[in-house]
Amino acid sequence: MNPLLDFSGLPRFDTITPEHVAPAIHQLLEENSALVTRLIAPGTPATWDDFVQPMLDAGERLSRAWGVVGHLHSVNDIPPWREAYNALLPEVSSFYADLGQNLVLYSKYKALAESAAFSSLTAARKKIIDNELRDFRLSGAELPEDKKPRFKAIQEELSALAAKFSENVLDATNAHAEWIADAADLAGLPDDAIAAARAAAEKEGKPGWKFTLHAPSYMPVMQYADNRDLRARMYRASATRAAEFGPTQWDNGPLIDQILALRSEEAKLLGYANFAEVSLATKMAENPAQVIAFLRDLAHKARPFAENDLAELRAFAQAECGLATLESWDMAWVSEKLRQSRYSFSDDEVKQYFPEHKVLAGLFRVVESLYNVQLLPDTAPVWHPTVHFFRIERAGQLIGQFYVDLYARETKRGGAWMDEVITRRRLMVNAANATSANFSSADATEIQTPVAYLNCNFPAPLGEGEQQRPATFTHDDVITLFHECGHGLHHLLTQVDELPISGIRGVEWDAVELPSQFMENFCWEWDVLSGMTTHVDTGAKLPRALYDKMLAAKNFQSGMQMLRQIELSLFDFQLHDNYQPGSTQTVRQLLDDVRREVAVIVPPEWNRFPNSFSHIFGGGYAAGYYSYKWAEVLSADAYSAFEEACQKTGSTLDAETGERFWREILAVGGSRPALESFTAFRGRAPQPDALLRHNGMTMAS
């Protein structure tokens, strides 16, 4: 059997090869197409059992198989996998575009929604039907027939352009290396960063040290290297990735213009003024004006703090570092010097207390304490030997499993992300024959347990065998891991049995970051950190005095950091709101306008950050990057409930509050509006006070 067509359990990563992709996906596309033909026939009743359930079952097989292909393209982007993915991407995109425009399918969903049987459906199934009707409209089902081919072509082009955008960023990242021959040029760098650079050079059989643009190599250079020329070269290489300064085939500039033009055309075909309105159709925010007002209000509150942050940094750079002018490649280095001067510790010092095994154990303790579950090692085929696999149990019963891929690799896309492998649903005994006329939801007998991927790009262990030194993570890395785990828990701890609204599915995009950002807060609690730290060399626990310094520095430069996020959010939103592709204003000019409005730091003219802004051009955050700040209001306010419980119990790891958070937020998935879920948990509407307090901005005007 083609392993991509085996849906009996976990993906068979030990046997799946690029050669399996085309036969498997072609077969599934044919099966789905045949099913659609049967379902749109007049003889098929527009009922849940006869119409909706077969669609869901067949659709899951395709999405699971294609999800594995997409995952391997992201974590093992070698030429055969890239070719296999890109060869089938147009066909898969075309199938989904046709599906979304199928007027007969749409009419059957409408008939079900208008039937007497609709009132007897559960609230979850009613929500699914409502979502389907909305998505059909957004997919062009109501377009005139002569407009549908163009709309379909736009969907296919956008899918291909997004994939190419991400590939260009990865290729441009891999193409640059800084080779250091003189040890004097390594001054200031931590020992483990130097050792990793030496190992990278040895791997290629060369002397000296090799530094790359991948985060585990790049960030220590920018933060610690005393060699200003090295920092400047690395910064410029990173800031100009996938731009006109490098190979033409990797230049994302033309792709950005094409993507924006196609999104604008798509919006107008659907009857919207712009793509921002299309984006908000599936989000909590009601209209573009509300989003822009939200961002500008936050910017107003953060700006005094950001201006003070920058003034302090410039004064320190001049007085203590001898820098009359503070350049972009100096920012992280001077900031680290100022942090060490003010708080008497460095990120690298803290990093030595976070070896991988203790971090994972500490993360698992938080999850187990909050939700009365057990996280245990498990076994499964994996795509790389360093990938871990775990299971989640409650009262001895399996409720979910997840893969953890922690380390950066040249064949793995950057950043950190969570994705679905398998989604919870009520399983049918004869699911393999779900297209048969005798299929009925009455055959349901058991729950399909969910499975997730958690992916990061952290530095790998150094050395081999007994000489291997465990991977150690910065505190920011730890926060990132907790963040992705929050997404994973949203997917894994759902109690919804209907596939389209189970876990993160069906959750408004600007609320989906709530559980992830919520988890970050525990990384600042002493009763959490004290149990998840051991010095990698001495075995000593994190000293309370060092923790106190970390806590004192928690909001170090928080004003500048918040304005940076607002800058990106406002840039993204205005690109899709009032920017006109092909007009006299360029993308860079729009970014300059946004920076003049909200930023306190302006990078060099040659900085091409948009060319590697994969969130909005290669991912799903177009006109949605603001979601991080929007959801941060929700997450900070939600966490304040645990802070209130701490005043009574002495710990934020409060099981009673955790149970309520699970029941009202994580368990319900997309079965109801996110605002209702938040209000059910908190007992009121969200308030921004906690966010401002957590960022040290309670005195903002």
Q: Do 180 and 220 belong together in one domain?
A: yes
CB atoms within 10 A of CB 79: 9
Q: Are residues 26 and 161 in the same domain?
A: yes
Sign of CA dihedral 179, 182, 186, 192: positive
Angle at 185 between CA 182 and CA 191, to 5 degrees: 100
Q: Binning pLDDT at 50, 70 and 90, where does residue 582 land?
A: confident
DSSP 3-state percent helix, strand, coil across the chain (nearest 5) = 60, 10, 35
pLDDT on residue 431:
45
Boundary-marking domain end, from 153, 169, 185: 169
Write the CB contacts of 529 (distance below 8 Å, at least 6 apart in sequence): 362, 523, 542, 547
Q: Return the pLDDT at 435.
A: 41
- State the alpha helices, DSSP H only, in 441-538: 475-492, 514-520, 526-529
Q: pLDDT of 653-695, one tens digit each?
A: 999 999 999 999 999 999 999 999 999 999 999 988 888 888 8
What percent of the chain has a predicted confidence (pLDDT) above 90?
92
What distance in Å separates the CA atoms of residue 546 and residue 542, rounded to the nearest whole number?
A: 7
- Reduce the DSSP state of residue 231 to 3 states and report it: helix
Closest CA to 210 of 186, 228, 239, 235: 186
Rounded CA separation 373/368 (Å): 5
Please write the tens of the pLDDT for every residue from 528-556.
Answer: 999 999 999 999 999 999 999 999 999 99
| Residue 330 one-letter amino acid | D
| Cα pseudo-dihedral 156, 161, 166, 170, rounded to 10 | 130
Residue 199 lies in a domain: yes
Contact between 100 and 154 under an 8 Å Cβ cutoff? The reply is: no
CA atoms within 13 A on the CB side of 222: 21
Backbone angles phi, psi at 5, to 5 degrees: -100, 10
Q: Are residues 13 and 97 in the same domain?
A: yes
Residue 282 lies in a domain: no
d(CA 29, CA 137): 23
Determine contact, residues 49/43, Cβ cutoff 8 Å: no
Cα separation of 94 and 70, whole Å?
16
206 Cβ contact partners less than 8 Å away, ≥ 6 residues apart = 179
Cα 466 to the center of its chain, rounded Å: 35
CATH code, 138? 1.10.1370.40
Q: Measuring CA to CA, which residue among 353, 345, 354 is closest to residue 478?
A: 354
Q: How far apart are the first and last CA of the chain?
A: 65
Give the mean model confidence (pLDDT) for residues 312-324.
Answer: 96
Residue 701 has pLDDT above 70, yes or no: no
The residue among 340, 335, 304 whose CA lies nearest residue 317 is: 335
Residues 73 and 82 sit within 8 Å (Cβ to Cβ):
yes
Provide the CA 174 distance to its chain's centre, in angstroms: 21
Query: At residue 415, what are phi and psi to the nearest 5 degrees?
Result: 85, -165
Range of the domain at 409: 356-488+498-506+515-552
The confidence band for 569, taking pLDDT boundaries of 50, 70 and 90, is very high
Residue pair 163/618 in contact by the 8 Å Cβ criterion:
yes
Amino acid found at 256: I
Residues 180 and 138 in one domain: no
As a whole number, the mean pLDDT across the chain is 94
40 occurs within a structural domain: yes
Structural domain includes residue 225: yes
Is residue 213 within 8 Å of 241, Cβ to Cβ? yes
3-state secondary structure of 614: helix
Q: Quick one: 106 and 193 in the same domain? A: no
The phi, psi pair for 11, rounded to 5°, reads -60, 145
Contact 270, 278 (CB under 8 A): yes
What DSSP state is assigned to residue 168? Answer: H
Show the tokens assigned to 89: 């991407």
Pair (7, 53) in one structural domain: yes
Residue 430: Cβ within 10 Å count: 12
Of 457, 527, 502, 479, the closest CA to residue 213 belongs to 457
User: Counting beta carbons within 10 angstroms of the beta carbon of residue 111, is it exposed (0 to 12), middle (13 to 18) or buried (19 or more)?
Assistant: middle
* 38-56: average pLDDT: 96
pLDDT tens across 422-436, in order? 999 998 655 444 443
Active site residue 265: no
Two tokens, residue 316: 């320190």
Where residue 441 falls among pLDDT bands split at 50, 70, 90?
Answer: very low
**Final residue of a structural domain among 135, 169, 203:** 169
> Which of these is catalytic: 484, 513, 632, 664?
484
**Residue 324 and residue 316 in contact, taking contact as beta carbons nearer than 8 Å:** no
Buried b (16+ CB within 10 A) or exposed e, 527-557: ebbebbbbbbeeeebbeeebbebbeebebbb
pLDDT at 378: 98
Whether the pLDDT of residue 518 is over 70: the answer is yes
Going by C-alpha positions, the residue among 627, 658, 676 that lies closest to residue 519 is 658
φ/ψ of residue 434, rounded to 5: -65, -15
In this structure, what token pair is assigned to residue 251? 């230049």
Instruction: Give the confidence band of 698 by pLDDT, cuts at 50, 70, 90.
Output: confident
Buried b (16+ CB within 10 A) or exposed e, 12-48: bbeebebebbeebbebbbeebeebbeebbeeeeebbb
Backbone angles phi, psi at 59, to 5 degrees: -65, -35
- Does a structural domain hold residue 212? yes
Residue 429: predicted pLDDT:
59
Q: How far is CA 548 from the centre of its chain?
A: 30
Same domain, 224 and 161: no
Query: CB atoms < 10 A from the CB of 701, how many?
Result: 6
pLDDT-derived band of residue 697, with 50, 70 and 90 as boundaries? confident
Assess whether 502 and 387 both reside in one domain.
yes
Point out which residues pair with 454 in neighbouring strands. 404, 418
So what's the pLDDT on residue 438?
A: 36
Beta bridge partners, 393, equal 374, 398
**Structure confidence by residue, pLDDT tens digits, 327-366:** 999 999 999 999 999 999 999 999 999 999 999 999 999 9
Q: Which amino acid is at 133?
A: L
The string of pLDDT tens digits covering residues 131-187 is: 999 999 999 999 999 999 999 999 999 999 999 999 999 999 999 999 999 999 999
Q: Is the pLDDT of residue 443 over 80?
A: no
User: What's the average model confidence in pLDDT over 384-401?
Assistant: 97
Helices 587-598 & 253-269, crossing angle to 10 degrees? 90
Domain total in the chain = 3
582: left (phi over 0), alpha (psi -120 to 50) or beta: left
Among the three residues 216, 241, 266, which one is the final residue of a domain in this structure?
Answer: 241
Q: Say whether both 185 and 163 belong to one domain.
A: no
Report if residue 638 sits inside a domain: no
Q: Which residues face 462 on adjacent strands?
A: 469
pLDDT at 699: 52
Q: What is the β-pairing status of strands 397-407 and 451-458?
A: parallel
* Residues in the chain, overall count: 701
Same domain, 182 and 160: no
Same domain, 134 and 222: no
| Contact (CB, 8 A) for 511 and 674 | yes
Is 64 within the bounds of a domain?
Answer: yes
- 101 and 236 together in one domain: no
User: Quick one: tokens of 292?
Assistant: 């822009």
CB 226 within 8 A of CB 188: yes
Instruction: Give me the pLDDT at residue 175, please.
Output: 96
